[in-house]
Amino acid sequence: MKKVAISILLTAALLTACGKSGSMDHSMHGGTSGTTNAPSPSASAGMDHSGMAQQASSTQAGNVQAQFKLSGDMAMPNQDTTISIKIQDKDGKPIDKFDTVHEKQMHFIIVSKDLSFFNHIHPDYKGNGEFTVTTQFPTAGEFKVIADITPTGMGAMSKSQWMTVQGASPAQKSIEPETTLTKVVDGKEVTLSFDHLMAGMELNLNFNIKDAASKQPVTDLQPYLGAVGHVVILTQDAENYLHVHPTVEKATGPDAKFMATFPHSGVYKIWGQFQQNGKVFTVPYVVKVP
C-alpha cells in the first residue's frame, strides 16, 4: 500500500515537472553532469551507439534510444556523407510517430568538438522510425551530432553521438567567454542581452538586430522555421543541449526574444539564427554563466 502511494506521489511530481517545461516545446533537455560520452579516437563515425547521450529530463527521453549510422564505411571531410538516425524504444522497437515542432519532425545539429563549426539541418523521415540526412563535414576530427525530436506523447528530447571524420584534425580553437556580445554577421549587427544571466532559472535572451552599415533597426526579419528565429545553446563540452524558444514567435525585429534555462554555471555557446531577404544568418556567442 505504502509503495503504491509513493509511486503515485512520484508520478505526480514528474507530471508537475513535465507541465512546467512542457509548455515550452524543447525548453531544455539534458542531465546536468556525468554524461561520459567522450569521443573515442578509434571509434569510426557513429558506428558505436553505446556511447550515445541518454539525457534525463522531464520527458520520456530515458525510454527512447537513437542509433546513428553512416551509410558508408567512414566519413571524410568535404564529401557527401549520409547519416541514418533510427529512433527506437528501449527494447529496440521503432518509434514511428513524431510531432512536427517548428515545421520539422527532427532538427539536427552538427558541431565540431571546439564548437567552431555549427550546422542545423533537417533529416527526411523515411518511416518506421528512421531518418536520413546527407551532409558534409568541413574537416577531419570529432563532431557531435544532435537529433532533436518529439516522439508523439513522449515529450521533446535530444539524442546525440560523437562522430569521427577521418584524417588529421585541425588545431582546436579555444572557446573563450566573450564580454562584448555584439557581432557583425552578413551585414547585420546583432547584440545579445539577458535580463539576468544566472544558472538554474529561466531567463530571457534578447537579440537586437541592426543594419551594420546604417545602424538602422532591422524590422523585416522573416519567419524562420515558423518563428522569428531559432536559438541553439550547448555547454562548452557539447554534452548538454538546450533548445530555446521564442517568447514572441511572430516578431519581425529589431528584437528577437527567447527563453532558456542554463542548467549550471559554466561556459556555453549560443547560436542565434534569423532570416532576412530569404537568407538565413547565424550569429554565435560564447558566454560564461555565473
Closer to Cu ion by CB, 107 or 188: give it. Answer: 107
Binding mask 164-203 for Cu ion (x = CB under 5 A): ----------------------------------------
> Does 243 interact with Cu ion (rule: CB under 5 A)?
no
Residue placing its CB nearer to Cu ion in the complex, 107 or 210: 107
Q: Could you say which residues in the range 106-135 bind Cu ion, by CB under 5 A?
A: 107
Least distance to Cu ion, CB of residue 242, Å: 14
Nearer of residues 32 and 119 to Cu ion, judged by Cβ: 119
Residues 92-111 that bind Cu ion (CB under 5 A): 107
SS3 of 11, please? helix
How near is the Cβ of 35 to Cu ion at its closest, in Å? 22
CB closer to Cu ion out of 177 and 226: 226
Q: What are phi and psi of 286, to 5 degrees?
A: -120, 125
Total binding residues for Cu ion by CB under 5 A? 1
Q: What is the CA radius of gyration of the chain?
A: 19
Q: How far apart are CB 232 and Cu ion at their closest, in Å?
A: 9
Task: List, in order, residues 6 or more apart from 245 with CB less than 8 Å away.
Answer: 24, 25, 26, 27, 227, 231, 258, 259
Which CB sits closer to Cu ion, 30 or 141? 30
Task: Find the shortest distance in angstroms from Cβ 109 to Cu ion.
Answer: 8
Within 206-235, the residues that bind Cu ion by CB under 5 A are: none
- With CB atoms as reference, the residue minimizing the distance to Cu ion is 107
In whole angstroms, how close is the CB of 168 to Cu ion at the nearest point? 31
Q: What is the 3-state secondary structure (H, E, C) of 112-125?
A: ECCCCCEEEECCEE
Query: Which residue, 29 or 107, has its beta carbon nearer to Cu ion?
Result: 107
Residue 101: DSSP 8-state: B
User: CB 167 → Cu ion: shortest distance, Å?
Assistant: 28
CB of 225 to Cu ion, least distance (A): 6
Cell representation of residue 74 = 567512414
Rank residues 234 and 289 by Cβ distance to Cu ion and give the closer one.
234
Residue closer to Cu ion (CB basis): 268 or 271:
271
* Rounded Cα distance, 126 and 107, in Å: 15
Q: How far is the CB of 229 from Cu ion (least distance, A)?
A: 11
List residues near Cu ion by CB under 5 A: 107
